[in-house]
Amino acid sequence: MSTNYATIARNGIWDNNVVFGQLLALCPLLAVTGTATNGLGMGLASTAVMVGSGLAVSLLRKVITPEIRIPAFVLLIATLVTVVDLAMNAWLHDLHKMLGLFIPLIVTNCAILGRAEAFASRQSPLASAFDGLMMGIGFTLALVLLGAVREILGSGTLFANASLLLGPRFGFLELTVFPDYQGFLLMILPPGGFIVLGFLLALKALVDSRSRAGTATPANPQVEKVFTAAGVLSRDRQPGE
């Protein structure tokens, strides 16, 4: 069976996006996206787990029996999350402290278990790893976008403390968008996250609706002619007939 990697990529990044398409992982989404830096860190950690879990589940799908597949998938995901947690504590300690409990809580991310059950357990290892990567990228983009909007409106900066949390190589990301900005506290707090998320969901729905309207298939004149001849679409009918 051939694998359409373009469709997998589109589903993960846009059509079936973890946040904007499935409305999953809202707890870490709203809790850690006070800044774009935190969103990027959480997104990268989640992506690593998604890729690893997809690959592991696909490799073991013929070994794991259907009766114990869910506990086995959770065990695999928990193992990967533990590895990511320890790695971040060792090499990205400041970011690890900032994200805190939300790194271990990646285990409870329904999107990861859902992709393991719906995709990785039925597909090849390469396709499963790619699906995890695209889902992770889509999730990371949602986290960074939400964090960026909240950070800009809340404090007038973008990717603040990136060099401290992610390492000196990420220092180029730090920007001051509005100098001498007094800040808007609501945007940094969880209620601000709900507000921004609502606007972003509405924006995606608007883009999708216009895209569907632009690609709508015009009526087939031959089909219309057949129905007209049968009296179904008779243009000579009067109202009430």
> Is residue 230 pLDDT above 70, yes or no?
no
Cα–chain-centroid distance for residue 226?
A: 45
Confidence (pTM): 0.85
Tell me if residue 176 falls in helix, strand or coil: strand
- Residue 111, in any domain of the structure: yes
Task: Enter the tokens of residue 38.
Answer: 């935190």
Task: Enter the tokens of residue 102.
Answer: 């939300």
- Residue 224, in any domain of the structure: no
Domain that holds residue 204: 5-214
- Residue 133, in any domain of the structure: yes
Give per-residue pLDDT as tens, 26-71: 988 888 999 999 999 999 999 999 999 999 999 999 999 999 999 9
Of the pLDDT bands very low, low, confident and very high (cuts 50, 70, 90), residue 2 is low
Q: What average pLDDT score do residues 169-187 get?
A: 91
- Residue 127, in any domain of the structure: yes
- Residue 235, in any domain of the structure: no
Three-class HEC string of 178-217: CCCCCCCHHHHCHHHHHHHHHHHHHHHHHHHHHHHHHCCC
* CB contact at 8 A, 43 and 84: no
- Residue 128, in any domain of the structure: yes
Give per-residue pLDDT as tens, 108-163: 899 999 999 999 999 999 999 999 999 999 999 999 999 999 999 999 999 999 99
Rounded Cα–Cα distance for residues 219 and 233 (Å): 13
- Residue 93, in any domain of the structure: yes
User: Domain total for the chain?
Assistant: 1
Rounded Cα–Cα distance for residues 142 and 148 (Å): 10
Of the pLDDT bands very low, low, confident and very high (cuts 50, 70, 90), residue 222 is low
- Give the pLDDT confidence score for residue 214 in this predicted structure: 77
- Residue 208, in any domain of the structure: yes
